[in-house]
Structure 1
């Protein structure tokens, strides 16, 4: 079922995802074919992906070939400067300092103590997802960590109410890297998009030039397959 966004997502809730790609037009063809997304120009060289008119993601062009081709999840914060201070206190690092984005909001990029990269978003005119928890939209973010206790301590300090509070409905899990990937894989977040039929979606990924990395396998939150797009960005398909 579709879930409409609130005016602003609560602190610590995944509120946006974006992909940094070598070729945005190729990304539009891939994700438009896979999820039925439409696209419109956003800030800078980025485009917003829309599903039935609602914003669900952004695709941006990599400005440095040394940067990874990745999907990044951003967590909502009402005060990005305060969150950045807590990240440093808890043993994380800030990669990109809080930066205003054309009135849409303020973005920052950080890494946790094990090196997993994530974003922060303080909403302005753009609160985040217009729809989630449905096929073709964001469904889950899984952190694959070396030490899940370290991850729980760090993110519990950072986003306690969203993860462990009485009203918590997490969209964010933690698991050991070795559960799915080779042990040499660095800790990282894996963005999941909802699908109605995982096997059918895997066929579409292959037809569109992507490939299957792992699965399908059964997780506590559904049937999951890890794939890459036609430019090497990893993400997951989630059938509830």
Structure 2
């Protein structure tokens, strides 16, 4: 199994009030199957695609009243050290580093503009067993109204390289502020950052959008709507794939992308 470099996305999970409904939804939309719930760890249940671990779902902790949302975890060889850098860079620790049995060590943090994410220091659980294929994690982007804060934070905490997308001739790209972060250099992109515009309601906070690969974007949108989910944006063609931003019936935002259906030339980055 591949090792994840520090700062690379390595896992995703989400809390759902109705875990059974979440399993049915993602089983249909993304083709996932699910393992046995780990009662020792709050009924944490892993999701699989083609028998490979790709995500997990879990009920809320007792007394918790947080909305359903996907959480992206970044790999860390030393969660305590990364947690210190997070605070030094102006972020907050929502949950201090915590050992999860022999599986590894986790922490939950918030970057200065408000997006929440996780850290994972692997033990027995290394992270994704499959990425960039149908049914698995494909990409993620930080959506924020304060990109300067997010940019300074992530490049300091994870020593990311950063490249700004140049505006092209497409009118839809006019005024777009999009950046890509890389681990070890721009040749290894791991995370995008998008400035939130007026199309986002003011009550929507900064967040990290997780993209899952699907064989057909339009079919995934149809299945989402048929099961009570919502379409927020798209489907839209791009040089990276045909994608759409969605929400499941319990309100957790996510995106789907067909990586095989690409349209247009790749944008220039500087």
TM score, norm. by length of structure 1: 0.92
2:11 corresponding residue in structure 1 = 16
The runs of 4+ residues in structure 1 deviating greater than 4 Å are none
Quick check: 37-46 or 112-121, which moved more? Answer: 37-46
Q: Distance in 2 between matches of 1:21 and 1:140?
A: 22
User: What is the deviation of 1:57?
Assistant: 0.2
1:144 corresponding residue in structure 2 = 143
Describe the shift of the 1:118–1:220 C-alpha distance in structure 2 as closer, same or farther (beyond 3 A). Answer: farther
1:100 corresponding residue in structure 2 = 99
**What's the secondary structure of 2:35's corresponding residue?**
strand
RMSD: 1.7
Of structures 1 and 2, the one with the larger relative CO (CA 8 A, separation 6+) is 1
Q: Distance in 2 between matches of 1:212 and 1:151?
A: 26
User: How far does the alpha carbon of each residue in 1:63-101 deviate from its partner, in whole angstroms, 9 at most, with x for none?
Assistant: 245211100000000000000000000000100011111
**What's the secondary structure of 1:131's corresponding residue?**
coil
**What's the secondary structure of 1:132's corresponding residue?**
coil
Q: Does 1:174 align with 2:197?
A: no
Q: Is the 8 A contact 2:67 2:251 kept in 1?
A: no
Task: Compare the two structures and name the one with the higher strand fraction.
Answer: 1
2:29 corresponding residue in structure 1 = 34
Q: Is the 8 A contact 1:177 1:183 kept in 2?
A: no
Quick check: 64-73 or 218-227, which moved more? Answer: 218-227
User: How far does the alpha carbon of each residue in 1:92-139 deviate from its partner, in whole angstroms, 9 at most, with x for none?
Assistant: 010001111121110000000011100000000001000010111101
Which consecutive residues of structure 1, in runs of 5 or more, have no partner in the other structure? none
